[in-house]
Amino acid sequence: MSKLPLEKKVLSENDRIAAELRARFAEHNILCLNLVSSPGAGKTTLLERTLEGFPPGERVAVLTGDIQTDNDARRLARFGFPVKQITTGGACHLDARMVERALAEWRLEELDLLLIENVGNLVCPASYDLGEAAKVVILSVAEGEDKPLKYPAMFFRAELLVLSKIDLLPHVPFSMASARENARRIHPGIEILEVSSATGVGLDTWRQWLDARRRAALAAATADVTPSRTAAG
Partner 1 sequence: MHELSIANSILDAVRAEGARRPGTRLLKVGVRVGELSGVAPDSLSFCFDALVTGTDLAPLALEIETRPRRQRCPECDRTFRVVDYDVTCPDCGETETRCIGGDELEMVYLEMEEP
Q: Which is nearer to partner 1, 49 or 93 (CB)?
A: 93
CB 43 to partner 1: min, Å: 18
Which residue lies nearer to partner 1 by CB, 17 or 111?
17
Phi, psi angle pair for 215, to nearest 5°: -65, -40
Specify the DSSP element, H or E, that contains 23.
helix 12-27
Residue 36 DSSP class: E
For partner 1, the closer CB: 79 or 128: 128
State which residue, 124 or 168, has the beta carbon closest to partner 1: 124
Grouping H, G, I as helix, E, B as strand and the rest as coil, residue 141 is coil
> In the beta sheet, which residues pair with residue 75?
none
> Phi-psi region for residue 190, left (φ > 0), alpha (ψ -120 to 50) or beta?
beta
Name the residue nearer to partner 1 (CB basis): 6 or 223: 6
Q: How far is the CB of 92 from partner 1 (least distance, A)?
A: 6
Contact 111, 25 (CB under 8 A): no
- Residue 102 C-beta: closest distance to partner 1, Å: 18
Helix (H, G, I), strand (E, B) or coil at 202: coil
CB of 26 to partner 1, least distance (A): 24
Q: How far, in Å, CA of 34 to CA of 213, rounded? A: 13
Residue 155's contacts (CB-CB under 8 Å, 6 or more residues apart) are 137, 147, 148, 161, 183, 186, 187, 190
Q: Please report how close the Cβ of residue 121 comes to partner 1 at its closest, in angstroms.
A: 8
**Residues near partner 1, by CB under 8 A:** 1-14, 91-93, 95, 123-124, 126-128, 149, 151-154, 156-157, 182, 185-186, 188-189
Q: Cβ closer to partner 1: 59 or 180?
A: 180
Handedness of CA 196, 70, 121, 214 (dihedral sign): negative
CB of 4 to partner 1, least distance (A): 5
